[in-house]
Amino acid sequence: MIRRRRLAATVILLTGALTAGSAHGVAGAAAASAPAPTVGMPQGNVEPATTPVPGVGAVATSSAVDDRVAVLLQNNGTTTGRVDLVSVTATTSDGGRVTRARSVQSFPQVLAPGEFGLASVKFRRDEAPPGSMFAARVRSSTVKTAAAARALAVSDLVLAPPQTGAVPQAMSATVSNPTSSWTARAPEVAVMCFGEARNPVAVATARPSTARLQPGKQAKVSVPLPTLCPAYLVAARAT
């Protein structure tokens, strides 16, 4: 049995602007001295603006889009950590109402030192109105470094042209299982969109057609996006 040490990090983050804009660069570790990227490292075309916190924690959040708040995670510690729970508290601008939403999912689930993770929480309808402030808390466990290798990789990212209708844009990708013995169950891909200030704007998820991804296999996936998404990070998770 793997012995885990419980960790928690909390940070209060003001939401970024909701106007999407262009951004450049390749997502990677926060510092040049960080370890080499792991298999599950999110891929994209933006270096996010973050508010670093110790250990595994939330370094940026979005405003609520369709009652969903995007949460950018990062492991600023020195050991590999598994994300166990992401909690976000929403406080209305007048301080009159406080609500909370939670999620146990992160893309990827295990973060090596320096690595980003994509997450989101879903509030009940109208529980996070415009102007709300969000406090994000992450509970994590330390795990063996080898756990970070049991992850899915994303590649061949293609952002479709903007379109009219309920889905402004879509992201297609290839999700791969590069391991030699691990079967990835319930694979899922997340796309986090960023605005002009390189802050999260929204997040969307989708599953490929296969329920299991065998070692060495890959699958295609298309993720419908709730907003235009010229700047993005993409990552996958599985059980």
Residue 124: pLDDT band (50, 70, 90) is very high
27 with 233: CB under 8 angstroms?
Answer: yes
Instruction: Check residue 128 and give its pLDDT.
Output: 86
CATH number of 6-147: 2.60.40
Q: Average pLDDT in the 15-41 region?
A: 46
What are the residue boundaries of the structural domains of the chain, listed by start? 6-147, 148-237
H helices of the chain, in order, are none
- Asked if residue 79 has pLDDT above 80, the reply is yes
Q: What are phi and psi of 222, to 5 degrees?
A: -125, 125
Angle formed at CA 187 by CA 184 and CA 193, multiple of 5 degrees: 140
**pLDDT at residue 114 is higher than 90:** yes
In this structure, the number of other CB atoms found within 10 A of the CB of residue 45 comes to: 18
Residue 106 pLDDT > 60, yes or no?
A: yes
Instruction: Answer whether CATH 2.60.40 is correct for domain 148-237.
Output: yes
Q: Which residue has the tokens 């969903």?
A: 68
Distance between CA 81 and CA 91 in Å, rounded?
29
| Tens of pLDDT, residues 127-160 | 888 888 998 999 999 999 888 889 999 999 999 9
